[in-house]
Amino acid sequence: MKIALSGYGKMGKTIEKIALGRGHEIVLKISENIEEYNLSEAEIVIDFSIPTVALKNITTCFQNKLPVVSGTTGWLKDYEKAVQVCNEENSGFIYASNFSIGVNLFFELNEKLAKMMDGFKDYSVEIEEIHHTQKLDAPSGTAISLAQQIINNSSKDGWELDKAKENEIPIYAKRIENVPGTHRVSYNSEVDSIEIKHTAHSREGFALGAVIAAEWLFNKKGVYTMKDVLSGLS
Ligand SMILES: NC(=O)C1=CN([C@@H]2O[C@H](COP(=O)(O)OP(=O)(O)OC[C@H]3O[C@@H](n4cnc5c(N)ncnc54)[C@H](O)[C@@H]3O)[C@@H](O)[C@H]2O)C=CC1
Ligand SMILES: O=C(O)C1=N[C@H](C(=O)O)C[C@H](O)C1
């Protein structure tokens, strides 16, 4: 595939390495205003940029008939707008808060555990995420996805950073030098705790998942998720 990278920072560079290793070509690296770039050589776009430009970059790609895999977090209030433009332009789109295969397995575990724990009122649930100090958004997109899964499978009706109300899930965001991404969901009672945790050891898992998603999306139209991608792999 001829790939354009929207965002050439820590993730863009890791994706470049993985994509080249899988026989793809990087034809464009977008680091500033997308309108300044010629997109015509690209066949697909992988977007790991910044929250304030993600929607513009993604929709500009759709308008140029390019499918997009996006992992940028912190812009999700505009997700439905991106979906609408994708459908209007008959393009292809996959967004995931986390492309790592391990985290997507962790998501399945989280959903199952939330269903199991729902009846046990002695336990309170909380989420902790730890990332490197350059991260722009808090809580992480992955932590929000984990919270949303718990909300969908329990009587919880929201989440809050740090101070949650009675029926909400507290998310604690910590920033520590060089941590690629750690997520923990814990259920605590007076007598014990049950925890599930995912620890990324590097950015390679996120990058590999994004390239696999791009390979899967290539030549498809429509809006998909990592569940669609992974159901084709297992
Ligand atoms: N979904 C997933 O699996 C993962 C998502 N992420 C997310 O990906 C995003 C990028 O993460 P990193 O690479 O660590 O950040 P980074 O800060 O290293 O890279 C972002 C890059 O975007 C560039 N940029 C600035 N304006 C731009 C524009 N107008 N168009 C295109 N690029 C522009 C910056 O120059 C920078 O190089 C973040 O939102 C992060 O949360 C990160 C890892 C995994
Ligand atoms: O910014 C990061 O680095 C990461 N961001 C994603 C998120 O916000 O969940 C995914 C991963 O944890 C790394």
Q: What is the pLDDT of residues 12-67, one digit of tens each?
A: 999 999 999 999 999 999 999 999 999 999 999 999 999 999 999 999 999 999 99
Ligand 2 pocket mutation pick from 48, 110, 135, 145 by most atoms within 8 angstroms of CB: 135
pLDDT band at 160 (very low <50, low <70, confident <90, very high): very high
Distance, in Å, from the CA atom of 48 to the CA atom of 102, rounded to the nearest integer, reads 19
ipTM above 0.95, yes or no: yes
Chain centroid to Cα 177, Å, comes to 21
Give all domains of the chain, ordered by start, each with its CATH number. 2-99+204-231 (3.40.50.720), 101-199 (3.30.360.10)
**What does the alpha-carbon distance between residue 176 and residue 85 come to, in Å, rounded to a whole number?**
37
Whether 19 has a binding-site annotation, put simply, is no
Phi, psi of 45 (to 5 degrees): -120, 135
Least confident window among 109-113, 162-166, 180-184, 187-191: 162-166
- Cβ of 104 less than 6 Å from ligand 1: no
Ligand 2 geometric centre to CA of 98 (Å)? 7
Kindly state if the Cβ of 187 falls inside 6 Å of ligand 1: no
Q: Show Cβ contacts of residue 184 under 8 Å, excluding neighbours closer than 6 positions.
A: 127, 128, 129, 195, 196, 197, 198
Ligand closest to CA 74: 1
